[in-house]
Structure 1
Amino acid sequence: MTDVTVPPGLRVTLPQFAESQRDALENVLKVVNDPGEYKIRSDEVLVRVQASSVAFADLLMLSGQYQHKPRTPFTPGMEYSGDVVAVGGVAAAEFDIGDRVVNDFTHAGPRSTGAYQAHGGWATYAVAPASALHKIPDTFSYEQGANLFVNYETAYYALVNRARLQAGEVVLITGASGAAGMATVQTAKILGAKVIVTGRSEEKLRTLRDWGADATIHTTGSTPGRFRDQVKEFTGGNGADVVIDTVGGPVGLEGMRSLSYGGRLVIVGWAANTTVAQGGGRGGSDGANLLPTNIIQMKGLYVMGSPMVIHTFRDPSIRPPRIAAILDWVEQGLITPFVSHRYPLSGIRDAGLARLAGHVTGGCVVEP
């Protein structure tokens, strides 16, 4: 063990699961002082966090409504980036003080399953094993680093491993203005696809057009209307080859109706139905989404889930090609995560509420 003393900071903790995401932000989360005194092992690194993502999945974890429930108490924040401020003896072979790094959320932080599950990024400092960190290039901002792997791995897995997207195909992305949605737009364009997106805000749709979307569709809340006709008009009557659905509910259903014969529906999330699982960490699945099997049958559709992290834990061999591709795209300057909202760590409540209210385009970060 090496004793390390750094300037004091702050840390967010979740002592127990809340009944809802709003309840967590308003009543349960605590911002506490961090005295800045650490003992790090030989293979460990102490990171001064510069930016930590506030993702929708982070908020679901606060109420135990995410499929993975960390042990409480813990510090939330799946993905963070920052500067190395101390290294153990073995870790010194890989990292120097001052290196700019991003954590691997499957190895450190609340989505991991080992000894570093409690060490999330909503803090001034985070401890991680050297194996959980990647250096980020100087061209990448800390905010972009904190929105890299979760979002782009989700996009890559959905498009490559599940949809097997081919260059020239048309992909429709619902709820594309979220962090994973924008990553999916950029990844689909890298892969040579044509991209249609849906969204509820004209301002966000303008951003998505600037981001590379070939066509945009304005939906209206929980009653999106019949946008399959717009998709068919764009595709010469064929419909989309692939739908990446992050919304579920009526939007997801209309997306499915927008597919061509034999098209592929890839389910990434169900933002329209956050009560699928009960709050307070009780779990359950009483409010599951339903899809019409008659339409699936008549259109010969392929319908598949896209559980990127779950599949990766079950079969780690699928991940190295994904990571290699993403880091290569980063080096080429093809990946540029979009971040619209930044808050101080002490403003974690406001950051979370902005995400819940749908004010965020792309990523949102807290900056200690």
Structure 2
Amino acid sequence: MRISTAQLYNQSVSSINQHQSSSSALMDQISSGKRVNTAGDDPVASIGIDNLSQQNTLIDQFLKNIDYAKNHLGLAETQTDNAETVLSSMREKISAAVNGTLTDDERQGVADELNAGLQELLTIANSRDESGNYVFAGTAYDQQPFAFDNSGNIVYSGNNGVRTAVVASGVAIPTNIAGDAVFMNSPSGLGDFNVNYSTSQTGEFNVTSAQITNSASYVEDDYTLSFTANGSGGVDLQVFDSASNLISTVNNYDASNPISFNGIEIKLSATPADGDSFSITPTENVSIFDTIQQAISLLQDDTAINSPYGRSELAQLLNNFDSGTDQVRIARGIAGNSLNSLDSYTDVHSSAELANTSALSVLQDLDYASAVTEFEKQQVALNASSQLFGRLSSFNLFDFI
């Protein structure tokens, strides 16, 4: 078989190019430290690398969302914990004010301390995060949530919106707690009603519970309960609705038995005296701010605080205060539970990312020893091909004639 000069040249050049390409590919692998730099290096491994890389990218985003959620929930937990501390101190002061031995000046001092605590609690409720956003404003985080209105009451201007962060596939965790859920909407301390005591009350009693026990027979209204002497050393009870219609009568009332009418059950701590009365108003939620302000006003009323009416009113305020404190505690618990969940998701994602990284290493990491050895072989082959081509290209038939 005859081999032409052109064919010889083409074969030699092709061999040199092949060795140069292989050397270049090996050099790229050695430089990058990766066995697979393009899909052409290993198509099957390249698909696996892309999938694992996408999973790690998604995990990185989840971890960033978790960090964001942790920062905001951590701040909410800290501030609700601070609020609990303030409320605990105020509870002790209110309880001390029940002591009838306090002078008017001493009670005024307690009222002043409660007012300072109220201002501190208001500052906590209006706390901001590192970006200047209000922590307890719901989704209206750019406006101050709590402030005094024209009547001197603290009102909530935020909303009950909840921001969320996606921390895993299909899992979104709230990153904030709306301020109304923390400070404004605690359940009534007595159940479902608020009690309005008469300032002319003479009996030492107070309502310990006022609840709807039968929703089917419940008639929503304001009710007044009046007690009159029955001539036998006891009192009779009459219940009137807001239109002064007589609803129920209990002869020879016994405080050890609950008062039941229209699906409502009321319990008293003791038996009222002749002429005593009180009314109940449906009330689902109370504000801890209102409770504190009412306690301050009561302590500043020297006549009321030393009367049966004042003591009964104070007992109700303490119930509402405890309910408000529990609401703040519940909010702190919600934040704490969410933080625990975020820690669990962090562990899961970290483990998954470690497994993915290990799998990526198997698929794409370069065996340097093998690569260097192969590179040296290709260099030797390239040099040999170049030298051979140089010698063949210098041959001339006339040199042998």
Q: TM-score under structure 1 normalisation? A: 0.26
> Highest CA radius of gyration, 1 or 2?
2
Q: Compare the two structures and name the one with the higher strand fraction.
A: 1
Select the structure with the greater relative contact order (CA < 8 A; seq sep ≥ 6): 2
Q: Compare the two structures and name the one with the higher helix fraction.
A: 2
